[in-house]
Amino acid sequence: MTVTLKNGVLDPQGKAIEGALGSLGFEGVHQARQGKVFDLELDTTDKAKAEADLKAMCEKLLANTVIENYTIAID
Amino acid sequence: MKSAVVQLPGLNRDRDMIAALTKISGKAPITVWQTETTIPDDVDLIVIPGGFSYGDYLRCGAIAARMPVMQAIKEKAEKGVKVLGVCNGFQILVEAGLLPGALMMNASLKFVCKEVKLEVVNAETDFTRAYEKGQVIRCPVAHHEGNYFVDAETLNSMNGNGQVVFRYAEGTNPNGAIEDIAGVVNARGNVLGMMPHPENLIEAAHGGSDGRGIFASALDVIAA
């Protein structure tokens, strides 16, 4: 799961990173956003159940949906 | 008036809070550990102090907000019992959904530890009756994630309901909080969260007593 701040929510860390990349000479970098990645191993082999569980985990704990979005990837 | 101070691993302002409540009410608060599932019926004020519960892991207050004691606090709040969260306590209250909004990293990306000025925006709450509307008080702050954020629609209704209780005044906003918000109450008015530390400005030895009014109001011991 990847959790990032929503668009429209100021991300001061993203801004600082964007500035630092610029000062290293990387041009044309915009909208840098810092987020979190959660890697989990699940016992289930049922993909639909895994997805539902991961969504519930994001909603209940891993993301603060007042300010953050999340995406889920399963493999 | 009986008070309770909640204790969780990583909170470190609990002793200051116990001292403030004891000095102002003349009665020591009880302490409530995170695993407790009930809070005694005669408690009228529950305080969640500041610190770094669970090392600020995941998000400040996120893990603390999901401990059993928080369910007990939610039930008490629904019955109208007063709840005060200071600093990490405020972060825990928003994470628990007892207060609207979220507290993000300071816009400066730095921990701030200094004195600010607070405007009392609403002096009619259970926590601010000792003050006058518009009064500006001194108060210390010490935090890294105090940048209050709430969506525009909720903010609008909060302003209309008098839910914004304190704003940083005189250009002292230390964290970039939206509309200089330093403290908010729930719609019912019995749950207050604030980033500044009033418990650290209650007597001459602290260099002032501007923070005393919050406890005097909540503990119902306002001097006539």
Task: Give the E-state strand segments of B105-185 in sequence order.
Answer: 112-120, 136-143, 147-149, 164-168, 181-185
B77 is written with which tokens?
A: 């709040």
**A6-15, B110-119, B125-134, B204-213, range with the lowest pLDDT:** A6-15
Give the pLDDT mean for B140-168: 97
Say if residue B57's pLDDT is above 90.
yes
Distance CA B168, CA B195 (A): 10
Say if residue B223's pLDDT is above 90.
no
φ/ψ of residue B61, rounded to 5: 85, -10
B144 is written with which tokens?
A: 């890294």
Q: Taking all residues of chain A, what is their mean pLDDT, rounded to a whole number? A: 94
**Residue position matching structure tokens 């004020």:** B45
Looking at residue A10, what is its pLDDT? 84
Annotated catalytic residue, options B60, B119, B144, B197? B197
Distance CA B11, CA B54 (A): 8
Looking at residue B1, what is its pLDDT? 83
Task: Give the chain B residue whose CA is nearest to the CA of A34.
Answer: B105
Give the pLDDT mean for B38-55: 97
Say if residue B65's pLDDT is above 90.
yes
Q: Known catalytic residue: B60?
A: no
Q: Known catalytic residue: B145?
A: no
Distance CA B200, CA B140 (A): 7
**8 A C-beta contact, residue A42 and residue A74:** no
Give the pLDDT mean for A20-44: 94
Chain B residues touching chain A at CB-CB below 8 Å? 58-59, 62, 66, 94-95, 100-102, 104-109, 147, 149-151, 176
Alpha-helical segments (H) within chain A: 12-23, 47-57
> pTM for this one?
0.94
Say if residue A16's pLDDT is above 60.
yes
Say if residue B117's pLDDT is above 60.
yes
Residues in chain A with CB shorter than 8 Å from the CB of B60 are none
User: pLDDT confidence of B14, banded at 50, 70, 90?
Assistant: very high
Looking at residue A12, what is its pLDDT? 86
Residues in chain A with CB shorter than 8 Å from the CB of B104 are 5, 9-10, 12, 67
Annotated catalytic residue, options B60, B87, B139, B145? B87
A13/B149 Cβ within 8 A:
no
Strands B82-86 and B43-48: parallel
**8 A C-beta contact, residue B104 and residue A67:** yes
Give the pLDDT mean for B18-28: 96
Q: Taking all residues of chain B, what is their mean pLDDT, rounded to a whole number? A: 97
**A4-8, B36-40, B157-161, B167-171, range with the lowest pLDDT:** A4-8
Q: Which of B62, B105, B108 sits opposite A61 (nearest CB)?
A: B62
**Which phi-psi region, left, alpha or beta, contains residue B141 (left: φ > 0; alpha: ψ -120 to 50)?**
beta
| Percent of chain A at pLDDT exceeding 90 | 85
Say if residue B224's pLDDT is above 60.
no
Residues in chain A with CB shorter than 8 Å from the CB of B56 are none
**8 A C-beta contact, residue B91 and residue B127:** no
**8 A C-beta contact, residue B120 and residue B80:** no
**8 A C-beta contact, residue B122 and residue B182:** no
Q: Which of B66, B109, B149 sits opposite A9 (nearest CB)?
A: B149
Q: Known catalytic residue: B197?
A: yes
Within 8 A by CB and 6+ apart from B103, the residues are B60, B61, B90, B91, B94, B145, B146, B147, B148, B149, B195
| Percent of chain B at pLDDT exceeding 90 | 98
